[in-house]
Chain A
Amino acid sequence: MNVHPIARTTTALLGTAGALLLAGCAGTAEAEQKAPDDAAVSAPYADGTYTAEGSYRTPETVESIDVTLTLQDDTVTDVEITGDHQARETENYQGQFIDGIADVVVGKKLDDLKVDRVAGSSLTSGGFNQAVERIKNEAATAAQ
């Protein structure tokens, strides 16, 4: 199993955790095998295994998970996620209705698929996007 989007960059790596970090959480990532020095944004990672830790707060608990990625030729060849969910909305809660519980999704490039439509979260309107830009700018100004 592999998860691609995690792997491309440092940012993306944290971005995956970002999914797990959505909650205002602290996250750290460390490479067991050193990444190239200029890995800042877009440089490929060296082959190897990388581990990211993340935690996020739920209404009831603090959840923590570990993500381990194996990279080869700038592609994730394996991903392993371990964690200890304690929250009320748990993954395995209602097994009788669920088939294929908890496979880690690999994903495919949309460009490689022949589809009529894509279904995901709603695109936001110009007003919302401008508002998000505004608060980002305000945060950047406040930080100076």
Chain B
Amino acid sequence: MHVWRFEAIGTVWEIETIEPLSHRRRASVTAVVDDFDATWSRFRDDSVVSSLRSGGTAPVPADADSMLSLYREVGQATHGAVTPLIGAGLEALGYDAQLTLRPGAPIPAPADWERMLRWDSSTLSVSVPAVIDVGALGKGRLVDLVMAALDGIHGRVTVDASGDLRVRGGAARIALEHPFDPTRAVGIVEVQDAALCASATNRRAWGSGLHHVLDGRTGLPVQTWAATWAICHDAMQADAVATALFFDGGPQLAADWGVHWVRMTTNGRIERSAGFAGELFT
């Protein structure tokens, strides 16, 4: 097994393959990641989403329809909690491009984002000042894109974007990290030719009650759920469900999509979907 490790979009990536990746493969993966970051990162001034902060129109990015259509479903399922216009809310709490981490008053996301953020086959436009943040499912999307860039490689290929991973050509045993103690696991599950996406409030956190999973309706960090895991064929949907599971409506959405999952409350209790095939250490 060979592992290629790098940092991108603010986290650590590992790509595991049987044979080392060629320079050409690495270059194509790097290009995919760079393009995604240059489009969707709100942490850089020159990205497409940054160019739309005051409102405006841009050529439609390649992933806009896939991601924003899914956002529409997740937003409906969670009654507005999950929204791509949560960026201003994250920045209000200090999670901004400068990483000031100085919390100010919370800012709820606009309730009717679909009227403000529109896209078609040629343009993406925002009608009001707004900060787009695709954190609810964007990393999963990028995992899918990276896996596609590794098409044709034989044997088991694992793309692990730290929390969101996808396995092709085999199975992998995955420990579900305890959100309060990273030396421990709360369970274990085998993932075969599928994605497992995790989300938890313990690392991307910067103060008492301050972390990166916000309820768009209030602009406040979620309180009840500490960690979620979702398994689906593609990582974007798994990532979306992992986010939705922090809210009421998440289990319904998962059932509608046939996604299996586990989630843990901030007081240590754990739930699983009826069909979750893994083991939990309860």
Q: Which of these, B102, B185, B208, B218, contacts A22 with CB under 8 Å?
A: B208
Among candidates B198, B206, B221, B269, residue contacting A121 with C-beta atoms closer than 8 Å? B198
Q: How far is the CB of B174 from chain A (nearest CB, A)?
A: 5
For the side of the interface on A, what is the size category?
35 or more
Within 8 A of B (CB), among A100-132: 100-111, 113-128, 131-132
Interface string of B197-214 (1 = CB under 8 A from A): 111111111111101000
In Å, the complex CA distance between A67 and B180 comes to 15
Does B11 count as interface, using CB distance less than 8 angstroms? yes
- Which of these, A65, A103, A108, contacts B184 with CB under 8 Å? A108
Question: In the complex the two chains form, is B173's CB within 8 Å of A115's CB?
Answer: yes
Given A98-B271, A115-B174, is A22 in contact with B211 using a C-beta cutoff of 8 Å?
A: yes
Give complex CA distance A104, B282 in Å.
Answer: 6
Q: Is B119 an interface residue (CB 8 A)?
A: no
The answer to whether B203 and A124 have CB atoms under 8 Å apart is yes
- A4-24 interface with B by 8 A CB criterion: 4-6, 12, 15-16, 18-24
The interface-forming segment of B82-90, B123-131, B158-166 is B158-166
A16–B268 CB distance below 8 A: yes
Verify B224–A131 contact, CB threshold 8 A: no
Given contacts A20-B266, A22-B223, is CB(A115)–CB(B218) below 8 Å?
no
Q: How far is the CB of A107 from chain B (nearest CB, A)?
A: 4
User: When the two chains form their complex, are residues A107 and B271 in contact, meaning their CB atoms are under 8 A apart?
Assistant: no
Q: Is the CB of A117 within 8 A of B160?
A: yes
Give chain A residues whose Cβ lies under 8 Å from the Cβ of B100.
131
Chain B nearest Cβ from A135, distance in angstroms: 5
- Residue numbers in A under 8 Å from B221 (CB-CB): 22-23
Interface string of A69-113 (1 = CB under 8 A from B): 000000000010101010111110110011111111111111101
Which 10 A/B pairs are nearest by Cβ-Cβ distance? A120-B177, A5-B181, A121-B200, A23-B209, A131-B99, A103-B282, A97-B251, A24-B208, A116-B172, A122-B163
Interface residues of B (CB under 8 A from A): 7, 10-12, 99-102, 139, 158, 160-165, 172-188, 196-209, 211, 215, 218, 220-227, 229, 246-248, 251-252, 254-255, 264-276, 280-282
Residues of A near any B CB (own CB < 8 A)? 1, 3-6, 12, 15-16, 18-25, 56-59, 63, 65, 67, 79, 81, 83, 85, 87-91, 93-94, 97-111, 113-128, 131-132, 134-135
7 pairs from A and B in contact (CB 8 Å cutoff): A89-B225, A104-B268, A110-B185, A113-B175, A118-B175, A120-B227, A126-B7
